[in-house]
């Protein structure tokens, strides 16, 4: 196991101060308007679409609650907070995007690092999954879907947590926020900080981890405006057998290790312009990501460093009556330094994007209305040709009754390949192709939303036609290469459903996704690692049971039937269960004790083909909120 930095040991010691034999659920506040006053909850509320709000084996990251999110498929190598590919609607890790405020955050080297957001979930609102026309209009360089976060208002208060568990796990986290009593020029001034650390030996031999994250933020807010100044740093040192370089079913387990250091600095302002949904949001950011990836048995050491700078603007403004304009624009400039990816066509790139749409609302009476939206998106780059993509949707909606919304949409979107894919070396562990073209996708969708006070439901049916989709494939005729970047044309049909029901003592949420793809490029000679690594049927079910006497039980479940893939071992079906029992200590307001278990049935299902699964784990801990 790796040895942590002394400052990390000090942090862990201070956070696990009671040496408690009980684990922790990190608490936070529910996202509210900046002018509201609320108390931190003793159970974290990072997302209302899943039950467990934090992982068992480390501290919570933005990716943590996506694991059982009905619209998101997290394909982890080991544990999601170490390395995870995020897929939406059968897309790949390369065509899923992340947005914080107005800013699209991405890694130009490879989509494997897209989810590397060094931000505490305490500071973020609940994740919003964007698909179809919405993603095409507001996302960046991602054709399948995106995950968007807003900045949570700061309040005076905080939380401290600590835990220990299986495989020498120890973790801790501290969050505290403060809002000054006096306003400055009509704005309240607040600040919050967060620090978290985790280490453990992992559920497999050669699978240790040592993670740390620190954040600081200053916020200026009034009734209509919120400006956030953020700085974050995250260091990750973790190992996992066959992390990336497994070639085929006969390849034995090899130790592989990765060290990541991610910096993020940004400023974001959001101003509400009225009660009809008008707003403007703008920001700028700098992201730096350093990666050291090693395979000791091969003597392989790769060092990469990416830098991304970006500015963005988005908003909605009513022009007159029931007509509004929606806009989204930005510039993203990146560059790469690498010891191995040195033969590509270029090592820096600037992308420009802009979306302009008109929205017209027709009042149908009886609290019903029809909304027509249409426009276009421009994507351009100094390294590639530009592309204009049309967007259109028609929505019927009402503010009461069971049926709330029905919509139909059509949207096109585009994406440029990452530097990993543009690597000019065709062989080796990771082969590339410097001549890869811009990918394009056309999405057709029909959806409906229903709801009453106690329950709600959303359903959609979609078809996505993709040209030049980036995939990584394995060719048995070239056994020296683990995988090679290539582009393919692929059609995806899908349907998804989510239902939530709330009773006095129980919350229940169920999601289902069906996917089908026309595989016309694999077979006996070529196997797909990513584009064809998807669940034909995926069912998620979560429950929160308030048992009384201070006890609460939370459970998330996932059943999947995976598409057939010649690389896959150990079957196509899997049931994954995570369970947590929480005890809110009577007479000690703010103190919660907890016990959690992950992979309850200890299955060996490979989320990524040829990468061994994380096995059963548990933790015990405590959280104190003030």
CA distances from 221 to 36, 109, 190, 192, 279 (A): 12, 36, 8, 14, 15
State the pairing for strand pair 384-398/403-415.
Answer: antiparallel
Q: Is the pLDDT of residue 27 over 50?
A: no
Read off the pLDDT of residues 88-114 as tens digits, 9 standing for 90 and up: 999 999 999 999 999 999 999 999 999
Give me 279's structure tokens: 């707003």
Q: Is the pLDDT of residue 26 over 60?
A: no
Q: What is the pLDDT of residue 33?
A: 35
pTM above 0.85, yes or no: yes
Q: Is the pLDDT of residue 23 over 60?
A: no
Give residue 39's Cα distance to chain centre: 26
CA distances from 150 to 24, 141, 269, 281 (A): 25, 20, 11, 11
Residue 46 belongs to a domain? no
Residue 464 belongs to a domain? yes
CATH of the domain at 292: 2.40.170.20
Residue 478 belongs to a domain? yes
Shortest CA distance to 265 belongs to which of 222, 214, 221? 214
Section 369-398 average pLDDT: 97
Longest Cα–Cα distance of the chain, Å, equals 71
Read off the pLDDT of residues 154-209 as tens digits, 9 standing for 90 and up: 999 999 999 999 999 999 999 999 999 999 999 999 999 999 999 999 999 999 99
**Cα–Cα distance, 193 to 233 (Å, whole number):** 12
Band (541; pLDDT cuts 50, 70, 90): very high
Read off the pLDDT of residues 209-236 as tens digits, 9 standing for 90 and up: 999 999 999 999 999 999 999 999 999 9
Scanning 405-511, the segments in alpha helix (DSSP H) are 419-422
Eight-class DSSP state of 54: S
**How does the average pLDDT of the chain come out, rounded?**
90
CA distances from 203 to 54, 167, 429, 508, 581 (A): 18, 6, 26, 30, 21
Residue 309 belongs to a domain? yes
Using a pLDDT cut of 90, give the percent of the chain over it.
80
The parent domain of residue 366 ranges over: 6-38+51-625
Residue 129 belongs to a domain? yes
**Cα–Cα distance, 156 to 176 (Å, whole number):** 7
Q: What is the pLDDT of residue 29?
A: 33
Band (479; pLDDT cuts 50, 70, 90): low
Residue 412, H or E segment: strand 403-415
Residue 43 belongs to a domain? no
Which residues, 6+ apart, have CB-to-CB distance to 45 below 8 Å?
Answer: 28, 29, 30, 53, 126
Residue 358 belongs to a domain? yes
**Number of domains observed in the structure of the chain:** 1
Residue 99 belongs to a domain? yes
Q: Are 388 and 413 in contact (CB under 8 A)?
A: no
CA dihedral 48→49→53→54, nearest 10 degrees, is -150
Residue with tokens 């942090």: 11
């Amino acid at each position: 196991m790796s040895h942590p930095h002394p400052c990390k040991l000090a942090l862990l010691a201070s956070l696990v101060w009671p040496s408690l034999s009980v684990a922790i659920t990190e608490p936070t506040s529910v996202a509210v308007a900046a002018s509201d006053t609320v108390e931190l909850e003793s159970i974290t509320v990072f997302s209302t679409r899943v039950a467990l709000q934090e992982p068992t084996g480390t501290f919570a990251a933005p990716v943590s609650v996506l694991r059982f999110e009905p619209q998101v498929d997290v394909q982890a190598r080991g544990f999601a907070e170490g390395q995870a590919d995020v897929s939406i609607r059968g897309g790949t890790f390369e065509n899923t995007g992340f947005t914080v405020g107005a800013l699209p955050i991405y890694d130009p080297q490879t989509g494997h690092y897209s989810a590397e957001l060094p931000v505490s979930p305490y500071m973020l609102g609940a994740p919003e999954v964007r698909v179809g026309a919405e993603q095409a209009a507001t996302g960046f360089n991602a054709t399948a879907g995106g995950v968007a976060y807003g900045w949570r208002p700061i309040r005076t208060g905080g939380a401290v947590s600590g835990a220990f568990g299986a495989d020498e796990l120890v973790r801790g986290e501290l969050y505290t926020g403060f809002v000054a009593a006096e306003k400055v020029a009509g704005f309240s001034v607040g600040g919050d900080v967060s620090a978290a650390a985790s280490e453990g030996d992992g559920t497999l031999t050669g699978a240790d981890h040592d993670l740390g994250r620190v954040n600081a933020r200053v916020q200026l807010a009034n009734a209509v405006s919120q400006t956030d100044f953020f700085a974050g740093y995250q260091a990750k040192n973790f190992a996992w057998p066959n992390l990336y370089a497994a070639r085929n079913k006969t390849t034995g387990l090899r130790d592989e290790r990765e060290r990541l250091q991610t910096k993020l600095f940004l400023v974001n302002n959001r101003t509400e312009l009225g009660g009809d949904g008008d707003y403007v949001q703008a920001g700028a950011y700098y992201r730096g990501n350093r990666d050291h990836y090693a395979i000791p048995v091969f003597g392989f050491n790769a060092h990469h460093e990416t830098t991304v700078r970006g500015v963005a603007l988005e908003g909605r403004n009513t022009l007159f009556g029931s007509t509004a304009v929606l806009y989204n624009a930005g510039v993203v400039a990146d560059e790469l330094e690498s010891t191995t990816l040195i033969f590509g066509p270029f090592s820096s790139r600037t992308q420009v994007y802009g979306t302009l749409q008109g929205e017209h609302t027709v009042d149908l009476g009886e609290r019903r209305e029809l909304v027509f939206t249409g426009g276009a998106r421009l994507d351009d780059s100094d390294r590639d040709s530009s592309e204009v993509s049309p967007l259109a949707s028609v929505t019927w909606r009402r503010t009461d009754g069971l049926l709330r919304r029905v919509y139909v949409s059509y949207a096109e979107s585009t994406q440029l390949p990452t530097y990993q894919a543009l690597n000019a070396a065709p062989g080796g562990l990771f082969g590339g192709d410097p001549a890869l073209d811009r990918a394009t996708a056309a999405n057709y969708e029909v959806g409906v939303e229903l709801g009453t006070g106690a329950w709600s439901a959303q359903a959609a049916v979609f078809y996505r036609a993709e040209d030049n989709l980036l995939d990584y494939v394995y060719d048995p005729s070239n056994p020296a290469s683990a995988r090679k970047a290539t582009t393919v044309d692929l059609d995806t049909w899908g349907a998804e459903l989510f239902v939530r029901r709330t009773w006095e003592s129980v919350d229940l949420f169920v999601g289902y996704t069906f996917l089908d793809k026309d595989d016309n490029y694999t077979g006996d000679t070529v196997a797909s690692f990513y584009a064809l690594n998807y669940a034909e049927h995926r069912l998620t079910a979560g429950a929160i049971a308030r048992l009384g006497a201070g006890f609460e039980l939370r459970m998330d479940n996932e059943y999947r039937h995976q598409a057939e893939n010649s690389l896959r071992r150990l079957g196509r079906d899997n049931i994954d269960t995570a369970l947590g029992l929480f005890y809110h200590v009577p007479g000690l307001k703010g103190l919660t004790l907890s016990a959690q278990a992950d992979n309850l049935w200890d299955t060996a299902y490979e989320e990524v083909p040829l990468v061994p699964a994380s096995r059963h784990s548990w933790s015990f801990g405590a959280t104190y909120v003030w």
